[in-house]
Chain A
C-alpha cells in the first residue's frame, strides 16, 4: 500500500510533462492578446535583406515601374498583406508607377483591398487631381490569368497581349500607364509576395529569360529555403514574415516623415511586434521548462 501511494505522488516536473495542451493554448492566447490591447514599444530595425530591397526601390530610375505579384491567399494574409500595403505606400509616396498581378484567384481580392486602402490614404490628403492616385495612370491592376507560364513569359514580350483588359474591365491598350510600361524592360523590380515557391518561379521564368530583377516577400515558414536565392543574388532583397513586414513599414514611415507625409496610417506588422516578442519569449520558456522537465523525470525514472 505504501509503495502504491508513493507511486501516485507526482513531482512538479512530472505534472508539467503531462499537462493538457489546452492550457498551453490558453497561455499563448493570453500572451498574444494582452500586448495587442496594451502594447509595449518595439522599434523594428531593418535587417540587411529588407534594407537592400527598400534601397533599390527607393533609388531605381524614375521611369521604371514597381511590379507587385500578389501570390498569396487569405490563409497567409496576416504575414504578407502588410508587405503589399507597405510596398504600395512606398511606391506612391515616391511617385513610382505600380503594376499588380495575382497568380492565384484568391489573391485578387487581397490585392484590390490593399490598393483601396493605400489609395484612400493618399487621396484623403490630396489637394489636387495630380496629387491623388489614379488607376491607369499611377497604377494598373492587371488581375489574374492562366496558365501561369504563359503569363510570366508573355509579360516579357508585351503585357497588353497577356492582359487585354485590367481587373476593372478597362482596355489596357488605352491606359496612359501602358505608354510607359510595355514589358519587363520598363520594370525596375518585381516583388513576389508569396506563401508558396512562386518567387522561385518568377526567378526561373522572368529573370532567367528576361533578366528581370526579383524581390521576395515570403512567409516565415519559407524564409529559410529562400535565403539561398538571396545569397546567390537572384533576389535583390527579401522580407521574411511579419517581422520583415514591420521592418519595411518602419523604413517607409521614416521615408514618409522625411517627405512631410505625417498622416496616421495603420501599420499592422509593427503593431504586432510586441505580441510577437511576448509570444517568442513564452515559447522559449516552454522549450526550456519542457527540456528541464524531460531530463529531471528521466533521471528520476532511471
Chain B
C-alpha cells in the first residue's frame, strides 16, 4: 500500500467517501459534497464560457471596433435577464422565440430523416436481409416486434378480435425491452461504482497497479 502524496487526490477521495456516506443515511458530509459539486460545476461552466466564448467572440472584436453588429445580438441575448425584472419580464420571450425558431428549423427535417425515415427503412424486410438465415430471422422478428408494439400503443380501437393477441404480443416485446434496459442499467451502475473504487484503491491507496 502506497498512499498518494497528491493533495488533490486526497480531496477527491474524501469527497467520494462523503458522497458514499449517503448510503448509510443523509448527513452533513454528503450535503457539503453535493453543494460543492454544484457550485464548482457552475463556476467552471461560467468561467469557461466567459474566457473561451464571450471574450474572443464578442468582447475582443467589439472592443477593437470590429463586427459592431454583434452588439445587437448581445442585446437580444441579454434580454434573457429581464426575467428578473417583473415589469419587463415579457421581453424574455424574444430571445426564447428566436432560439426556438432557429432550433426547430435546423433540426426538424434532419431529425425526421434520421429518427423516423431511416428507422422505418431498417424495419422493412428485403431480399438482401436473407443473405444468411440469421439476419433473415432477426429481420422478421424485428418486423413482428414493431408491428405488435405499435399495435399495443394504438388506443383508437377496442382491443378485441385480432387486435387482442397482437397487442398482447406487443406487451411481451415491451417487457423484453424493459428487461434488457434493466440489465444494462445494473451493469452501468456497477461500472460507475467500480470506477470510484478503482480511484480509491488505485490512485489513492495504491492497492491496484
Contact = CB atoms under 8 A, between A and B. Distances in A.
A binds B: yes
Contacts of A77: 195
A183 B52 CA distance: 22
A241 B187 contact: yes
A231 B142 contact: yes
Contacts of B52: 143-145
Interface in A217-271: 219-221, 223-225, 228, 231-234, 240-243, 268, 271
Contact of B198 (A28, A36, A165, A204): A36
A32 B197 contact: yes
B73 to A, nearest CB: 12
Nearest to A26: B23
Nearest to A75: B192
B118 to A, nearest CB: 5
A79 B192 contact: yes
A205 B195 contact: no
A74 to B, nearest CB: 9
Interface in B1-55: 23-24, 41, 44-45, 48-49, 52-53
12 contacts: A28-B190, A32-B193, A36-B201, A79-B192, A79-B195, A145-B52, A204-B110, A220-B187, A224-B181, A225-B181, A232-B122, A275-B190
Interface string B104-116: 0011001101110
Of all A-B residue pairs in the complex, the 10 with the closest CB atoms, nearest first, are A78-B195, A232-B122, A220-B188, A242-B191, A204-B114, A220-B184, A220-B187, A221-B188, A204-B110, A279-B190
Contact of A78 (B56, B118, B192): B192
B159 interface: no
Contacts of B196: 78
Nearest to A145: B53
Nearest to A195: B188
A219 B24 CA distance: 27
Interface residues of A, number: 52
B110 A241 contact: no
A274 B199 CA distance: 16
B182 to A, nearest CB: 9
Given A204-B110, A268-B198, A272-B198, 5 more contacts: A78-B191, A78-B198, A220-B184, A279-B194, A280-B187
A224 B180 contact: yes
Nearest to B193: A32
B86 interface: no
A195 B207 CA distance: 29
Contact of B184 (A76, A204, A221): A221
A207 interface: yes
Contacts of B48: 105, 108, 144
A127 to B, nearest CB: 27
B126 interface: no
A217 to B, nearest CB: 13
B106 A149 contact: yes
Contacts of A18: none
B177 interface: yes
A103 to B, nearest CB: 13
B103 interface: yes
B44 A241 contact: no
B89 interface: no
Contacts of A228: 119, 122
B113 A242 contact: no
A32 B194 contact: yes
Interface string A34-57: 001100000000000000000000
Contacts of A240: 184
A203 B114 contact: yes
Interface string B154-196: 0000000000000000000000010011001111101111111
Given A144-B52, A224-B181, A232-B122, A280 B193 contact: no
B103 A149 contact: yes
Nearest to A274: B194
A288 to B, nearest CB: 14
A204 B122 contact: no
B118 A105 contact: no
Given A106-B41, A280-B190, A241 B207 contact: no
A146 interface: yes
A170 interface: no
A37 B142 CA distance: 43
B188 A200 contact: no
